[in-house]
Amino acid sequence: MSSHIGLIIVGDEILSGKRADKHMPKVIELLAARGLALSYADYVGDSPERITATLHRAFSSADMVFSCGGIGATPDDHTRQCAAKALGVDLVLHPEAEALIRERMQDTAREQGVLYEANRPDNVHRLNMGMFPQGARIIPNPYNKIPGFSCNGPGGGAVHFVPGFPVMAWPMIEWVLDHEYPHLFNRSPQTEQSVIVFGAMEAALTPLMQRIEQQHARIRVFSLPSVDHPQYGRHIELGVKGPAEDVPAAWADLQTGLHAIGANCGPELVRKLQ
């Protein structure tokens, strides 16, 4: 598996603005606590064609990818079917998922004080939530027992499917990280160091930025311009980020370069990324 980690958010309600996405900031937080970082995120509505295409790219990669939403059993939930199509396999009722869903239905009947009827049409329909692509493995759901699922792709990576509800999705994502990827935790600590540069134009700083990246292969240079910062006003935050052991040398070169062009520098900032 590569070092890239992706996130897919599924649902028209996100793209229409009915609901705000809370998953990406939380996933960033969960990853950072384990010394990992999110590489990219895709947002896709409830279009089977687009979901299938997005999942096909994910399965073709060597990445660790989390997909949130669309794994229910209502007509606007397409993710399970699209995952199977992207993998070229059948949807099958996962035996462990079936057992957990039946257990959940029995719990619900008991809580409501009614008899559990396994063959009642609505209960039979609920088993569709356990129809996963052939070869999938389950992700436990501590909230209501209805599992998510993980599938390996031909590209060497895996996609992990969880519900759209944060109260379910977030502990399930943590479970996947802690059970499948602990060997990746805190493997390459990352830091960034930056400085506030007043009165400079990005175009004037670009040659220096390019030179730093050419001389320090594992370092990325960034510039974040601001026109109305409440404290610094118009400025550029210019910095370097990358493996903790590589940052000091790149930072020293950046400082030297800024001094050489007579940049008006303000406060310096250091942040541990992982």
Domains of the chain (ranges plus CATH)? Answer: 5-184 (3.40.980.10), 190-272 (3.30.70.260)
Burial environment of residue 31 by CB neighbours within 10 A (0 to 12, 13 to 18, 19 or more): buried
* Cβ-contact 39, 6 below 8 angstroms: yes
pLDDT of residue 128: 95
pLDDT of residue 272: 73
Distance CA 147, CA 129 (A): 8
Distance CA 33, CA 46 (A): 31
Cβ density class 163-176: b for 16+ within 10 Å, e for less: bbeeebbbbbbebb
CB atoms within 10 A of CB 96: 15
Give the chain's count of helices (H) and strands (E): 9, 12
Q: What residues contact 42, with CB distance under 8 A and at least 6 apart?
A: 6, 7, 8, 9, 54
* Cβ-contact 212, 246 below 8 angstroms: no
pLDDT of residue 274: 56
Cα–Cα distances in angstroms (integers) from residue 41 to residues 9, 21, 166, 241, 248, in the given order: 8, 12, 17, 20, 30
The values of phi and psi at residue 204, to 5°, are -75, -25
pLDDT of residue 2: 60
Distance CA 50, CA 157 (A): 20
Distance CA 194, CA 239 (A): 4
Cβ density class 219-235: b for 16+ within 10 Å, e for less: bebeeeeeeeeeeeeeb
Prediction pTM value: 0.84
pLDDT of residue 194: 96
* Cβ-contact 189, 243 below 8 angstroms: yes
pLDDT of residue 69: 97
User: pLDDT 10s per residue in the chain (274 long)?
Assistant: 567 999 999 999 999 999 999 999 999 999 989 989 999 999 999 999 999 999 999 999 999 999 999 999 999 999 999 999 999 999 999 999 999 999 999 999 999 999 999 899 999 999 999 999 999 999 999 999 999 999 999 999 999 999 999 999 999 999 999 999 999 998 878 889 999 999 888 999 999 999 999 999 999 999 999 988 888 888 999 999 998 899 999 999 999 999 999 999 999 998 876 5
Distance CA 77, CA 163 (A): 10
pLDDT of residue 271: 81
pLDDT of residue 170: 98
pLDDT of residue 230: 85
Q: Which of 190, 188, 158, 203 is nearest to 59 (CA)?
A: 158
